[in-house]
Amino acid sequence: MYGMGFYPKLKMKEPLVKGKSYMLVANHKSMIDIMLMLSIAKYPVVFVGKKELEKIPIFGYLYRRVAILVDRSSPESRKRVYEKSKKRLDKGLSVCIFPEGGVPEPSIILDQFKNGAFSLAVEFQIPIVPMTFLDCEKKFPYFFAYDHFVGSPGALRANVHNFIETKGLTKKDVPALKQKVFDIIYNDLKADINQTS
């Protein structure tokens, strides 16, 4: 990331503890979101991402080595995500999911969240760590291929919010949990837009 001219500028409410597993979630608008996430996590983390990403040249090759790939159209594939995640969590790794389930169009501030990250967090009773990535889209937008003159190097701000405990929660709590995390990230993004506009 530093070699590309980017550097993280973090605000963390709580420290991530080595050897403890977390569910890391953030908004997703850029390919450098993954690099920023790795610089925040510091400790081993595995990504859960859609299988189509492995088709991207170079990126897909690397992504296969740090990610559990899921075919969202296949119930069997989704089931395997749980099994593979459990193996990683048993080893003390954290899991990262971008809960929008893809990269939304530039006009969308934050797309609706899928259940996966929150279901897994409840299933394994691990804290959720909401994060807001404020600059990745501006610095290196996912849709840069349509305009080669967008983006620039510089700081990548990330707000790492207070962790949300899931101990004692069950599947029926997933919708409210998902909405809570959505509101945290959306309100942070909206506040930054209002401040800079």
Residue 54 neighbours by CB under 8 Å, 6+ apart: 60, 61, 63, 64, 69
Confidence (pLDDT) at 145: 47
Q: Is 28:158 a contact under the CB 8 Å cutoff? A: no
Rounded Cα distance, 16 and 40, in Å: 9
Comparing CA positions, the residue from 139, 137, 132, 178 lying closest to residue 10 is 132
pLDDT along the chain (197 residues), means of 10: 77 93 95 90 84 65 73 75 85 92 88 94 96 92 57 88 98 98 98 87
Rounded Cα distance, 158 and 132, in Å: 6
What pTM does this model have? 0.87
Confidence (pLDDT) at 70: 80
Residue 6, domain extent: 2-196
Domain count for the chain: 1
First to last CA, the chain: 27
CATH number at residue 28: 3.40.1130.10
